Chains A and B, each alone.
Chain A
């Protein structure tokens, strides 16, 4: 007999575990963001990448500062928040603002609640909401794509707290055009991403492919994006059918603005969305309804951010009211429950 090992490890069952771990989930989402970054670089050039880098640096720095020495950077979630925030900012957003946004996203969006898993609101969206409140002009100044890879807008290098330099080139987003100018945008540019908009949000085709990959890899719950998008189609479809002259088609609603990006990367954040299956459908339904409401009837061209933040606030309640019924009991809402209870 071979020599017995010196010490056998005692632990409790189970002795097998899935390969899927929290850092890996976050890492795979980060991986899925690479094609989005590539598309952003293609359309908006180096400047866009610098914006993402700035917000990411802000996020990572804040996470490190407040969680050292046992830094929680290793769970990859701060990296994800920073990149996500960067991708929902305009391409020539001043870098110092992006950095500040990343710091706020992690500080106020996550750490102040108790860190990963404890926050109510999507941290990246908290960061963006903060920036929207502080810098409403900068965050709605859109650079059209195709300015050349190495063309860096002077706006990027604005000095903190000083008036941002004005760039000769600025454009509008398809949603803005539709809302304020009543101009429509062709489908091809919407799909490819050759339009004005936030850094990572413009290329519908890339976002759909990334979403499919993440769903197939089971990184996120497919019901969340699907319910969100279906809900937008449903509500905007009803309104479009009622008055197609005034209101945009459901397809335009799907492909424009930040909806697809949010469906793939924001409503799929497990922490801030319901954990129950029924809850995920309710969440998506709510986000879609609010998006249509804000886009078509609100004062802003885009409403994805506020829709998700509002539904984030409802998430704990949705989770609580959609708890599964234990095996062998009828569903809580079922009228049969009373009858069976009487029998027992």
Chain B
């Protein structure tokens, strides 16, 4: 290998946990294109921020890739038709959050080629930085790792701050998930191209793609492509540890710098972007394909034939599960997202959203962990917390509504990685209490 491994500052961060990886069922399975189904449900709220505003009505004909909803504000983004077909309704539908949420329902046209009109493609080197940001919003791009934060907002957060490093996050530290690993192994050029576009838009000198070293195929594919790539992009193998894919943890591993509390990576001249978002950015600028599909890992002990699927947004989860052989009879729980930060689902009619990285079916619900024991002050949660907080203390304070103390102990620094709950031997739902504590502090801060 000509491009030697880059000299990292570290190869990981301090603290964190080592959950079982359980990626073997799918990490060598190539991505398969999921067949088109009859109906698609596109909720207007698939991202952090204001919901999108529908531009179509029942009865309208839409083409795959056509704009169907505009951004509902600056912190919001657009939606595009995932299939060519006809709008059946704009009405509340079950949403993965458990609520009924307004959605555009599209009936696919079975005779359509489902080709996307490439005329939106544009060479980003002909655009100003501002135009690139606007163009990113027009593609409906959000963080595809799960948080679904609108990408254009991230790019324009602090226009006056210089960005030196663009870090593409391919850690995929959540157990079970392999969608990013496969994407990097199969489309390294798209990842690098997207990185290049980001570096250009931000005038950043150095690009990075960070991958946990349990993905040798991805690392090798990226290194091979990076060797002949015109821009300086380092492919960094970082240690397997949860939550390595958290922005602040990743920056510490690569650059040895720590983002100050309450701060953003931009404060220290770094932008971190999810790897799937990055390749989607390349598809948009080079081929005019907006965000209409994503890779979803369907796996877990309750799934007969685990797969990595390239799925149009809005496809019902039940169709994915069925394609993968259906649920085993003893399936107890279905999770959307990863097992550490995902959401349990009751109703499998909910659609795949932009942030849906995985569908996991479990045959056991935390066996033997239903009894909560008292805190034995073992300190395991303190040694797990990547933000160096005191989770057990925060949980105690949240139980008694001690808002001021919660704030003074930096409860808002918690990004809910759930390492504390994972490690707690007494089964105390620490992250759940801390989430409530964060809400209390935010409520108290609101001007009444």
In the complex, A178→B108 CA distance in Å? 91
> Residue among A5, A11, A20, A327 with the most chain B CB within 10 A?
A327
* B contact residues, range: 35 or more
Instruction: Answer whether residue B216 sits at the interface, using C-beta atoms and an 8 A cutoff.
Output: no
Instruction: Answer whether residue A68 sits at the interface, using C-beta atoms and an 8 A cutoff.
Output: no
Contact A22 B425 (CB under 8 A): yes
Given A5-B331, A324-B382 in contact, is the A13-B425 Cβ separation under 8 Å? no
A73 CB to nearest B CB, Å: 12
In the complex, A36→B345 CA distance in Å? 50
Instruction: Answer whether residue A270 sits at the interface, using C-beta atoms and an 8 A cutoff.
Output: yes
A113 CB to nearest B CB, Å: 11
Contact A14 B374 (CB under 8 A): no
In the complex, A344→B423 CA distance in Å? 35
Q: Decide if the interface of chain B is mainly helix, strand, loop or mixed.
A: loop
- The 0/1 profile, CB within 8 Å of A marked 1, for residues 353-394 of chain B is 000000010100110110101111111101101111110100
**Which of chain B's residues 422-446 have a Cβ closer than 8 Å to chain A?**
422-427, 429, 431-432
> Residue among A16, A74, A273, A277 with the most chain B CB within 10 A?
A16
Given A2-B326, A2-B327, A13-B343 in contact, is the A118-B374 Cβ separation under 8 Å? yes
Contact B261 A327 (CB under 8 A): yes
Residues of A within 8 A of B334 (CB): 8
In the complex, A28→B326 CA distance in Å? 40
Instruction: Answer whether residue B328 sits at the interface, using C-beta atoms and an 8 A cutoff.
Output: yes
Contact A16 B263 (CB under 8 A): no
- The 0/1 profile, CB within 8 Å of A marked 1, for residues 10-38 of chain B is 00000001011000000000000000000
Contact B431 A327 (CB under 8 A): no
Count A-B contacts at CB 8 Å: 174
Pick the contact of B392: A10, A115, A275 (CB < 8 A).
A275
Given A16-B20, A275-B392, A276-B379 in contact, is the A75-B373 Cβ separation under 8 Å? yes
- The 0/1 profile, CB within 8 Å of A marked 1, for residues 141-171 of chain B is 0000000000000000000000000000000
Contact B344 A11 (CB under 8 A): yes
Instruction: Answer whether residue A117 sits at the interface, using C-beta atoms and an 8 A cutoff.
Output: yes
In the complex, A17→B340 CA distance in Å? 9
Instruction: Answer whether residue B339 sits at the interface, using C-beta atoms and an 8 A cutoff.
Output: yes
Instruction: Answer whether residue B330 sits at the interface, using C-beta atoms and an 8 A cutoff.
Output: yes
Contact A17 B376 (CB under 8 A): no
Contact A16 B379 (CB under 8 A): no
CB nearest to B373 among chain A residues: A22
Contact B341 A13 (CB under 8 A): yes
In the complex, A277→B383 CA distance in Å? 8
- The 0/1 profile, CB within 8 Å of A marked 1, for residues 403-424 of chain B is 0000001100100001001111
CB nearest to A24 among chain B residues: B425
Contact A5 B376 (CB under 8 A): no
CB nearest to B362 among chain A residues: A15
Instruction: Answer whether residue A3 sits at the interface, using C-beta atoms and an 8 A cutoff.
Output: yes
**Which of chain B's residues 212-255 have a Cβ closer than 8 Å to chain A?**
248
Residues of B within 8 A of A276 (CB): 379, 382
CB nearest to B342 among chain A residues: A13
CB nearest to B435 among chain A residues: A12
Contact A14 B431 (CB under 8 A): yes
A-B contact pairs, 20 of them (CB 8 A): A8-B332, A8-B333, A8-B344, A9-B365, A10-B345, A12-B429, A14-B418, A15-B335, A16-B366, A17-B421, A116-B376, A117-B377, A118-B374, A221-B378, A275-B378, A276-B382, A319-B377, A324-B389, A328-B248, A328-B258
The 5 tightest CB contacts between A and B, nearest first, are: A275-B379, A117-B374, A270-B378, A14-B418, A2-B326
Q: A14-B341, A273-B377, A327-B387 are in contact. List 16 more A-B contacts (CB 8 A).
A: A1-B322, A4-B327, A12-B431, A12-B432, A15-B335, A17-B424, A20-B425, A22-B373, A115-B374, A270-B378, A275-B378, A277-B383, A319-B377, A326-B389, A327-B258, A327-B259
